[in-house]
Chains A and B, each alone.
Chain A
Amino acid sequence: EDQVTQSPEALRLQEGESSSLNCSYTVSGLRGLFWYRQDPGKGPEFLFTLYSAGEEKEKERLKATLTKKESFLHITAPKPEDSATYLCAVQGNSGYALNFGKGTSLLVTP
């Protein structure tokens, strides 16, 4: 059974203080690993898809990386508007469902 574990559950950063969020996964044949951002009361907003170990993708202050067992979301010099819950999900070769972790709640203070 696919499993996704995200850590930490919550993270508080000062503005400009870089850090990383972790997503550990087990899946029988990875089709893709997905990162989303979710603001309170809203739907998940798509950020990145990673398909194979060694792949990296960047968008503004965010960079996602992938190994065979985990993915990291690196946040460089975060701003208060980066505060949100970041969700990681995996999709296995056996189906189309996304299996989500419980997320990391990020708070960036000025």
Chain B
Amino acid sequence: NAGVMQNPRHLVRRRGQEARLRCSPMKGHSHVYWYRQLPEEGLKFMVYLQKENIIDESGMPKERFSAEFPKEGPSILRIQQVVRGDSAAYFCASSPDGSYEQYFGPGTRLTVT
């Protein structure tokens, strides 16, 4: 049973470019969560999605960040016009219906130069 998959594992972008991070949840999981881990800080919640719906985006920056989880395909976290402060590890987690336990992927490490 494959775990949560994220790609790419490492992503380098220049300031002003766009970053697209992908997350495939565990088989049978229909709930996806995105978290960000800044250097020397804890994991911070960004957004919670179910298929085709954003349920809670209270942790998402108001500008430049967006997320989707289409009916087919992986969940995408999109960061437009990246800045140095966006450099961080971005983790995706998934959970099945009826469970509060979240299982994390290996993360995407974004570096903005």
Which residues from chain A sit less than 8 Å from chain B, CB to CB? 31-32, 34, 36, 42-46, 49, 87, 89, 91, 95-103
Contact = CB atoms under 8 A, between A and B. Distances in A.
A96 B55 contact: yes
Given A43-B91, A44-B91, A95-B56, A100 B43 contact: yes
Interface stretch (B12-20, B65-73, B75-83, B101-109): B101-109
Judged by DSSP, the binding face of A is strand
Pick the most buried of B6, B43, B58: most chain A CB atoms within 10 A of its CB: B43
Question: In terms of DSSP, what is the predominant structure of the interface of chain B?
Answer: strand
A97 B45 contact: yes
Given A34-B102, A97-B48, 11 more contacts: A31-B100, A45-B104, A46-B101, A46-B102, A49-B101, A91-B100, A95-B56, A96-B100, A98-B35, A98-B43, A101-B42
11 contacts: A36-B104, A42-B107, A43-B4, A46-B104, A49-B100, A49-B101, A96-B31, A96-B56, A96-B100, A102-B41, A103-B42
